[in-house]
Amino acid sequence: MARSQWGSRLGFILAAAGSAIGLGAIWKFPYVAATNGGGAFLFIYLGICLTLGLVLMLAEMALGRATSAGAVGAFRKLAGGFWPLIGYMGVLVCFLILSFYSVVGGWTIAYIVKSLQGGIMTSDPKALGAIFGGFISDPVQPLLYHGGFALLTLAVVVGGVQKGIEALSKFLMPALFALMLVLIARGLTLPGALEGVSYFVAPDFSKVSASMLVDALGLAFFSLSLGLGIMITYGSYVGRESKLLGSALWVILLTVATCFLAGLMVLPAVFAFGFDPSAGPGLTFITMPAVFAHLPLGQLFAVMFFCLLLLAALTSSVSLLEVVTSFAIDELRLSRRTAAILMAAGTFLLGIPASLSLGVWGDYQLFGMNFFDLLDFVTSKLLMPAGELLLALFVGWKAWPVVRAELSSGRSPRAMQCMRGFCMALAPLLIGCIMVASFR
């Protein structure tokens, strides 16, 4: 049977960008950039996305299109041995990420409710910090919202309404960009906001450290949905005639643009209202309500913002659940419904200790980290970079003829040679050195 294909090239780009753009750009990017000192981090992050990110995204899409297979299948078709392990690792990482992603997705639902009730309309940093802290450390409420988010993700995957989500993405992205522009304009006109702008964009390269580099590397892969086979799977539905380079560039540009806008939306406000830039994972949730409190119709904007954030998170979480579900269908021979329910239940259960570790179980630590941070660390700083390193080696040494055949039309042999060299040596070296340096 012919493999189904995206309705159009735009549909493919939107679905891939829908997976990429989510909590990574709007929740994670601002606080990781802020804790790493701003400007220099932004430049390094952009540099990684436009080099490593672009080449590896292209490679993933090409592997998918060439093999018409998903994460594990693509490696199995092209090489035996231990290579398919890269695919298995990707599935495992999707599972781990989804567990804590769903916890944060739950926070967005809770903040929709809080915005509707009007309880967060203040610009007092202490009060907003206390509201967020009180909420995430509560033993029951975040779990209910986490369950709600997991059910929504499950409903989309089981209900087969992905088409609806694709259609929604067409509206979601322009709406998200427009709303962010309004919020940026408000934030930038607050007294003291310019200090935040310069913190965010003016690079101070004396702050560069190995731990900053590994943060930027992990965040680049996380925000672009790379290294887990998602772009392989999406690429497998692309028609021959589509130009992959243009599509990959679009996905990357849309994602880094969202990250940049999110930084401009959050950081000036952090400085204008006197929040702590190194507040960590709560930064977006603590800061944005203060901006809403200073906008006419602020409550309406708050509801809209958290609704759009929820939808952006859902288009990403659906791609994560889709990968683990397809794996369970193919490898465990389960029906789609059973597979999706089992996997969603599994990620929900793993998310419970992650959520509780931000409150009542905060004292249980491993390597100085609570369980939530540990999951984030293991996925973003260990397994995703390791997966990308292996993927680059795979492309350069094992699958090059196939990847070249997919990408070379209309391109000079020299450009292709450069890409191969990059995958064979430079990319693995760069990733390897950054990982090793950050552990010393």
**Cα–Cα distance for residue pair 356/359, rounded to 1 Å:** 5
Identify the residue whose tokens are 């089981």: 158
Six-digit token string for 404: 């070249």
Does position 97 interact with ligand PFF (CB under 6 A)? The reply is: yes
Does position 223 interact with ligand PFF (CB under 6 A)? The reply is: yes
Which of 13, 14, 15, 20 is in the footprint of ligand PFF by CB under 6 A?
A: 20
CA 125 to centroid of chain Cα atoms: 27
Q: How far is residue 7 from each of residues 397, 417, 422, measured CA to CA in Å?
A: 33, 33, 33
Six-digit token string for 27: 């929740």
Shortest separation between residue 343's beta carbon and ligand PFF, angstroms:
14
Does position 94 interact with ligand PFF (CB under 6 A)? The reply is: yes
Q: Closer to ligand PFF at the Cβ: 106 or 298?
A: 106
Does position 19 interact with ligand PFF (CB under 6 A)? The reply is: yes
Shortest separation between residue 360's beta carbon and ligand PFF, angstroms:
27
Q: How far is residue 422 from each of residues 94, 98, 396, 437, measured CA to CA in Å?
A: 26, 31, 8, 20
Residue 311: Cβ within 10 Å count: 20
DSSP character string of 304-354: HHHHHHHHHHHHHHHHHHHHHHHHHHHHH---HHHHHHHHHHHHHHHHHHH
**Cα–Cα distance for residue pair 271/269, rounded to 1 Å:** 5
Gap between the terminal Cα atoms of the chain: 51
Which of 11, 24, 84, 235 is in the footprint of ligand PFF by CB under 6 A?
A: 24
Does position 23 interact with ligand PFF (CB under 6 A)? The reply is: yes
Which of 12, 100, 107, 222 is in the footprint of ligand PFF by CB under 6 A?
A: 222
- Which residue of the chain is nearest ligand PFF when measured via CB? 24
Q: Judged by CB under 6 A, which stretch of 16-24, 109-117, 210-218, 267-275 contacts ligand PFF? A: 16-24
Six-digit token string for 217: 């590397």
DSSP reduced 3-state for 118: coil
Which of 67, 108, 316, 325 is in the footprint of ligand PFF by CB under 6 A?
A: 316
Q: Judged by CB under 6 A, which stretch of 180-188, 217-225, 277-285, 415-423 contacts ligand PFF? A: 217-225
**Cα–Cα distance for residue pair 61/375, rounded to 1 Å:** 27
Which of 17, 157, 180, 228 is in the footprint of ligand PFF by CB under 6 A?
A: 228
Number of residues that bind ligand PFF (CB under 6 A): 16
Shortest separation between residue 45's beta carbon and ligand PFF, angstroms:
13
- Angle between helix axes 413-421 and 400-407 (nearest 10 degrees) is 140
Q: Closer to ligand PFF at the Cβ: 101 or 132?
A: 101
Which of 35, 123, 169, 225 is in the footprint of ligand PFF by CB under 6 A?
A: 225
Does position 263 interact with ligand PFF (CB under 6 A)? The reply is: no
Number of residues assigned to the chain: 440
Which of 22, 235, 263, 396 is in the footprint of ligand PFF by CB under 6 A?
A: 22
Q: Closer to ligand PFF at the Cβ: 25 or 393?
A: 25
Angle at 435 (CA atoms; ends 38, 213), nearest 5 degrees: 15
Contact footprint for ligand PFF (CB under 6 A): 19-20, 22-25, 94, 97, 222-223, 225, 228, 230, 316, 319-320
